[in-house]
Amino acid sequence: MKSSMPITGGQLFWITCMFDLGMSAFIVISPTVERVKNDAWLSLIISAGVSMLATWIGVRLSLYYPDKTFIEYLNDIIGHWVGKIIGMLYVLTWIVSTGMLLREVTDIFITSEFDKTPGYVFITSMTLAAVYLLSGNGIQSLGRSTEVIGLIVIVMVSFTFAFDLPNVDLKRLLPIYITSGPEMLLYGSIPAASFMAQTSYVTMIVRFVKDPKKNAVKAVWGTGVSNIFLVLCSLFEITTFGADLCKRMWNPIIVMAQYISVEEIVQNVDSVILVVCFLTAFVRISLFLFLSVYGTGQIFRVQHWKSMLPWVAGVCIVIAMIPHSIIESTIVYPRMAVEPFVFPALLLTIPLLLWFIAFLRTQRKAHRHSK
């Protein structure tokens, strides 16, 4: 069955890469440095492996049902009622994630440059922009946008790294591994892995990919590239400021950009980093909003999913207004909800079990046909 919103393999790559790249640099590096200090980059390498594995599982699972989304083939694998309950749990998670992400991005802007701007201005404007994009042609519009956004972001981040080279002191990475060990490195990888290993979005959008058997794997490569940049970002931050200073900063990448000075010509490039933050956050918000709306439409069998767009967007705005402070949105929510429940259960265990069940059923069918 042909999708009405087809995306190419290249667009899938950029969606995946931009979904993870920018916001992770703002949100997960500081808590990782807080846990393992100088060895944060080692923990991020571990989280890269976990997130790529999670993406691969999501891709393999979806390829068993290439004409259906996750919400649809849940019923085929585990039955109607159980599938519907789990599907609703995922949709609720996507809606909450959209709202909390809106708040996290707003807090980044307010704490960096726009402290006099009311938070609801950022929350509402970003939501309206995402609604406008998705009301066009849904995931296809997002795919086309990320092809342009991706190139802009990669160039901006690369130039920022290059300009920061004079401030780098490799001695700040020492000692390596001695003060942490395997258990601490695994513990340090949890914040990044829980943010990057978003298996569920892959299981929803493979349905829209042209020639999924050939192109769906590009989601794994997109995750890998975003993780490479995240590891590099952590290395630059630690070698610029040292681990003790990094862990005390809300957004060390912005401070690093403010610290850049090249012959007094190139200075204070934090505005560039804020552009990166906005563009990548816009991609992540738009994709989560699409999952929320499209998934809600499929759960309640709404024929035209776009009719749900303003209602779900309104709920996301309300959720974004709930946290009373930046601590609740960036520390309490990840540690109390995402890391102990969403990450191990919804992003790893359930997709892995579903993939295993689908694999066994496929093998049984193949065995029956061979007789």
**What pLDDT does residue 353 have?**
95
The fraction of the chain above a pLDDT of 90, given in percent, is 59
Verify cis geometry, omega within 30 degrees of 0, for the bond prior to 344. Answer: no
DSSP secondary structure letters along 182-222: HHHHHHHHHHHHHHH--HHHHHHHGGGBSSHHHHTTHHHHH
Give the mean pLDDT of 19-41: 87
Range name among 75-79, 272-276, 302-306 with the lowest pLDDT average: 272-276
**What pLDDT does residue 247 have?**
82
**What pLDDT does residue 49 have?**
94
Residue 113 pLDDT > 80, yes or no?
Answer: no
Amino acid 354 reads L
Residue whose pair of structure tokens reads 């552009």 in the numeric block: 275
Q: How many CA atoms lie within 13 A of 301 on its CB side?
A: 1
Give the mean pLDDT of 109-128: 89
Give the mean pLDDT of 182-201: 89
The tens digit of pLDDT for each residue in 221-258 reads 999 999 999 999 999 999 999 888 888 887 888 888 88
Compute the distance between CA of residue 341 and CA of residue 103 in angstroms, rounded to an integer: 20
Q: Strand, coil or helix: what is 262? A: strand
In this prediction, residue 3 has a pLDDT band, given cuts at 50, 70 and 90, of low
- Measured between alpha carbons, how far is residue 38 from residues 31, 35, 187 in Å? 12, 9, 14
Is residue 261 within a helix (H) or strand (E), and if so which, with residue range? strand 261-262
Beta-carbon contacts of 124 under 8 Å, excluding residues fewer than 6 positions away, are: 317
Compute the distance between CA of residue 118 and CA of residue 100 in angstroms, rounded to an integer: 17
pTM (predicted TM-score): 0.93
Residue 371 pLDDT > 70, yes or no?
Answer: no
**What pLDDT does residue 2 have?**
54
Compute the distance between CA of residue 285 and CA of residue 107 in angstroms, rounded to an integer: 15
Confirm if 19 and 191 have CB atoms less than 8 A apart: no
Mean of the per-residue pLDDT values of the chain: 89
The tens digit of pLDDT for each residue in 290-300 reads 999 999 999 99
Compute the distance between CA of residue 12 and CA of residue 140 in angstroms, rounded to an integer: 10
* Domains annotated on the chain, with CATH: 9-362 (1.20.1740.10)
In this prediction, residue 363 has a pLDDT band, given cuts at 50, 70 and 90, of confident
The fraction of the chain above a pLDDT of 70, given in percent, is 96
Residue 198 pLDDT > 80, yes or no?
Answer: no
Residue 20 pLDDT > 90, yes or no?
Answer: no
